[in-house]
């Protein structure tokens, strides 16, 4: 009886995930062409936002926020544009190179690059990477959390090095669909909003 109870306890405990290698994660990101997913965002001010995330690698990502926010963030053409529907002026813009998102949107991701990975660990269920731009470590860091079998990016946490931390939890990805380039065209979005 004790032996059966021991087997039940042993097999009831979920198996711990092994740490996914940097080469495997780099390969996963490099193969990720287009993808869409719903997301939930946890902000520094304790507010929570939801919306849809669209990626078209390399270099493009779009965050469409749900009501009541209706904010929009577009990354395209090496720029990040934040559209705030409450503001009467154009979007806030800055170079993608000044954000940690640049690392996962590059044409060729090589996580083995010197100094890019400042943390690589497993917590038993996921593999966690902490990345920073080795040329600009003062611009913040991004923490990427992956599940395995299959490898999927499940969440990320951006720390902008100015005291702002944003956590995004990603729903199930739909990959490989056709996504029009105009969704990542900042100028086109600006013109659309002035009509």
pLDDT digits (tens, 9 = 90+) for 69-127: 889 999 999 999 999 887 777 899 989 887 778 878 899 988 887 678 889 999 888 99
Q: What is the pLDDT of residue 4?
A: 38
DSSP string, 55-117: EETTTEEEEEEPTTT--EEEEETTEEEEE-TT-SS--EEEEGGGSTTHHHHSSS--TTSTTTE
Model confidence band, residue 7 (pLDDT cutoffs 50, 70, 90):
very low
In the predicted structure, residue 16 carries a pLDDT above the cut 80: no
Q: What is the spatial distance between Cα 166 and Cα 44, in angstroms, rounded to a whole number? A: 6
Delimit the domains of the chain by residue range: 17-194
Residue 2 DSSP label: H
* pLDDT per residue as tens digits for the range 93-102: 989 887 778 8
Model confidence band, residue 6 (pLDDT cutoffs 50, 70, 90):
very low
Model confidence band, residue 17 (pLDDT cutoffs 50, 70, 90):
low
Q: What is the spatial distance between Cα 190 and Cα 51, in angstroms, rounded to a whole number? A: 20
Residue 57 DSSP label: T
Tokens standing for residue 98: 């000044």
Q: What is the pLDDT of residue 54?
A: 96
Do strands 92-95 and 141-147 pair parallel, antiparallel, or not at all (unpaired)?
unpaired
Torsion angles phi and psi, residue 91, rounded to 5: -70, 155
pTM: 0.82
Q: What is the fold, at CATH topology level, of the domain defined by 17-194? A: outer membrane lipoprotein receptor (LolB), chain A (2.50.20)
109 touches 24 (CB < 8 A): no
Longest dimension (CA), the chain: 76
* pLDDT per residue as tens digits for the range 125-182: 899 999 887 777 787 888 999 998 889 999 989 888 787 889 999 998 898 899 999 9
* pLDDT per residue as tens digits for the range 25-75: 999 999 999 999 999 999 888 889 999 999 999 999 999 999 888 899 999
Q: What is the pLDDT of residue 111?
A: 86
């Amino acid at each position: 009886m004790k032996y059966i109870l021991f087997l039940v306890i042993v097999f009831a405990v979920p198996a711990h995930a092994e740490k996914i290698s940097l080469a495997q994660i780099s390969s996963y990101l490099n193969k990720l062409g287009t993808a869409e997913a719903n997301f939930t965002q946890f902000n520094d001010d304790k507010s929570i936002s939801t919306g849809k995330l669209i990626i078209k690698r390399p270099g493009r990502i779009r965050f469409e926020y749900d009501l009541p926010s209706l904010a929009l963030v577009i990354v395209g053409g090496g720029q990040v544009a934040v559209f705030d529907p409450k503001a009467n002026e154009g979007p806030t813009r800055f170079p993608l190179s000044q954000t940690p998102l640049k690392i996962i949107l590059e044409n060729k991701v090589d996580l083995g690059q010197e100094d890019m990975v400042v943390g690589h660990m497993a917590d038993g269920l996921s593999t966690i990477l902490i990345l920073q731009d080795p040329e600009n470590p003062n611009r913040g860091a991004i923490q990427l959390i992956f599940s395995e079998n299959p490898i999927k990016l499940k969440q990320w946490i951006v720390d902008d090095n100015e005291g702002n931390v944003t956590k995004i939890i990603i729903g199930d990805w739909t990959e490989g669909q056709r996504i029009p380039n105009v969704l990542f065209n900042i100028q086109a979005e600006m013109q659309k909003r002035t009509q």
